[in-house]
Amino acid sequence: MSVPGRSIAGRVTRAGPGVPRMARLAIAVATAWIVSPPGAPALAVPPGAIASPGSSAGQIAPVTDDAVTAVARQLRCVVCQNLSVADSPSEMARQMRDLIREQLAAGRTPTEVTAYFVARYGEWVLLAPPMRGFNLVLWGLPFVALVGGLGLIWRAARRWTRHVAVETGPVAAIDSADRQRVRAELDRLVD
Amino acid sequence: MSRRLRWLAPLAALPLLGLLAYAFRTDPRAIPSPLVGRPAAVFTLTTFEGAPVRLSALQGRVVLLNFWASWCMPACYDEAPVLESGWRAYRERGLVVVGVAIQDSAEAAQEFIRRFGLSFPNAPDPAGRLSIDYGVYGVPETFVIDRRGIIRGKHVGAVSEAALRETVEPLLAESAG
């Protein structure tokens, strides 16, 4: 964060109320993120979209595109750079979507279908790393950085306001000769 | 920050630098296969000539399961002669090379087989089922399956003559029991 204004007056008026506003904004952003993390697994599958496990063999029950996409969105397209299986136009992604549809139609749950891919490609295939083990560092680090950053801002803000108090002291104490000289030089500047 | 603790600031960057130094030394494309050490998924393929290839029928032999494509230039073109000569050199001792052409047209794949005079079984992978089942994410990829049907390794990229020899020799020396 840059120093808001170089003048003493600027520091007094801007640094004070500016920091809590920043903090409020940061907390609001963090809260929004906790409530809905970006790339959170979308496991919501419309009820009735998956065939019951008891459906007769050989008969492919209809699986909605939304149900297939919900699973495909969690999986990394293995032949692309940073595209999900749902978004990739590649042949392999299309084959994977067909496989997802087939497995859902066979009565597997979305979790079982993603587990099938994880067993073959590793956790790498998941676009959102699961929240456990070492991955927790990955999920937690942004919050640690946020809290640390807020702490630094808070400290810096305290230092700025303290400096103001120190710097205003001597200003009031200049003698009349200095005051006259400052006034004279200011007058010359104005002219 | 107090003057006393100022030297801590650059110190805080050290773990990050260490992480970056480590990460830049690793190959981001080398993703370990979770399948290594596990039994190879059984499959039945039909070669371009119409002959069936069953993994279960190959038990007791060392299998190089090679995923390739005719559009995979130049890696697949580099390794095709290596696989062919490896298959010829070691087949008597129990090596089988099985080629799987993925996301390829039958014509282009067969032209590739003719071009390199491949004599080991080669089959298409309809609907990409086998390549997904083996967690393939590119071509060429080669799975090394031992005599007991366990996946012992995965090679990403063109197989070199030396790599083939060093991989296959010790596995051929193992007993099927």
Q: What is the percent of chain B with per-residue pLDDT over 90, rounded to a whole number?
A: 75
Minimum distance, in Å, between the CA of residue B89 and any CA atom of chain A: 31
Distances (CA, A) of A158 to A69, A144, A166: 51, 21, 13
Sorting pLDDT into bands at 50, 70 and 90, what band is A46? very low
Give the orientation angle of helix A65-72 with respect to helix A91-105, to 10 degrees: 120
- CB spacing of A79 vs B33 below 8 angstroms: no
| pLDDT-wise least confident of B12-26, B78-92, B161-175 | B12-26
Q: What is the pLDDT of residue A56?
A: 43
pLDDT tens per residue across span B32-58: 789 999 999 999 999 999 999 999 999
Residue to substitute from B1, B137, B139, interface A, most A β-carbons within 10 A:
B137
pLDDT at B133 over 70: yes
Report which DSSP code applies to B149. S
pLDDT tens per residue across span B76-116: 999 999 999 999 999 999 999 999 999 999 999 999 999 99
Chain B hits for A95, Cβ within 8 Å: 127-129, 132
pLDDT tens per residue across span A103-145: 999 999 999 999 999 999 998 899 988 888 888 888 888 999 9
Cβ distance A164 to A11 under 8 Å? yes
Q: B78 — contact with chain A (CB < 8 Å)?
A: no
The two structure tokens encoding residue A110: 């979305």
Q: What is the pLDDT of residue A80?
A: 83
Q: What is the mean pLDDT of residues A3-16?
A: 37
3-state secondary structure of A17: helix
pLDDT at A4 over 80: no
Q: B16 — contact with chain A (CB < 8 Å)?
A: no
Q: What is the pLDDT of residue B31?
A: 65
Q: Would you tell me how many other CB atoms lie within 10 Å of the CB of residue B33?
A: 21
Residue A156: closest C-alpha in chain B: B1
Residue count of chain B: 177
Q: What is the pLDDT of residue A79?
A: 84
- CB spacing of B134 vs A120 below 8 angstroms: yes
Pick the residue with more confidence: A180 or A8? A180
| pLDDT-wise least confident of A2-16, A105-119, B94-108, B160-174 | A2-16
User: CA A35 to CA A13: how far, in whole Å?
Assistant: 35
- CB spacing of B137 vs A78 below 8 angstroms: yes
Q: What is the pLDDT of residue A48?
A: 34
Pick the residue with more confidence: B151 or A41? B151
Q: What is the pLDDT of residue A5?
A: 37
pLDDT at B4 over 60: yes
Sorting pLDDT into bands at 50, 70 and 90, what band is A166? low
Question: Which of B35, B103, B128 is opposite residue A120, by nearest beta carbon?
Answer: B35
Residue pairs spanning A and B at CB distance below 8 A: 43
Q: A91 — contact with chain B (CB < 8 Å)?
A: yes
Q: What is the pLDDT of residue A61?
A: 57
- CB spacing of B128 vs A92 below 8 angstroms: yes
3-state secondary structure of B100: strand
Q: What is the pLDDT of residue B2?
A: 60
Sorting pLDDT into bands at 50, 70 and 90, what band is B176? confident
Cβ distance B76 to B158 under 8 Å? yes
Q: What is the pLDDT of residue B14?
A: 87
Sorting pLDDT into bands at 50, 70 and 90, what band is B148? very high
Q: A121 — contact with chain B (CB < 8 Å)?
A: yes
| pLDDT-wise least confident of A12-16, A72-76, B77-81, B156-160 | A12-16
In this structure, what are the phi and psi dihedrals at residue A180, rounded to the nearest 5 degrees? Answer: -65, -40
Residue A76: closest C-alpha in chain B: B137
Class of domain B36-173 as given by CATH? alpha beta
Q: What is the pLDDT of residue B50?
A: 95
H helix or E strand, kind and range, residue B143: strand B141-145
In this structure, what are the phi and psi dihedrals at residue B64, rounded to the nearest 5 degrees? Answer: -105, 110
The two structure tokens encoding residue A144: 């640690």
Task: Provide DSSP, B42-77.
Answer: P-EEE-TTS-EEESGGGTTSEEEEEEE-TT-TTHHH
Alpha-carbon dihedral angle through residues A86, A91, A97, A101, given to the nearest 10 degrees: 150
Give the HSE-up count for residue B29: Cα atoms under 13 Å, Cβ half-sphere. 11
Q: What is the pLDDT of residue A115?
A: 95
Sorting pLDDT into bands at 50, 70 and 90, what band is A164? low
Q: What is the pLDDT of residue A103?
A: 95
Q: Where are the domains of chain B?
A: 36-173
pLDDT at A165 over 60: no
| pLDDT, mean over chain B | 91
User: CA A117 to CA A75: how far, in whole Å?
Assistant: 8
**Which bin fits B11, alpha (ψ -120 to 50), beta or left (φ > 0)?**
alpha
Q: What is the pLDDT of residue A14?
A: 38
Q: What is the mean pLDDT of residues B147-158?
A: 93
H helix or E strand, kind and range, residue B122: strand B122-124
Q: Residues A160, B1, A161, CA angle at the centre, nearest 5°?
A: 10
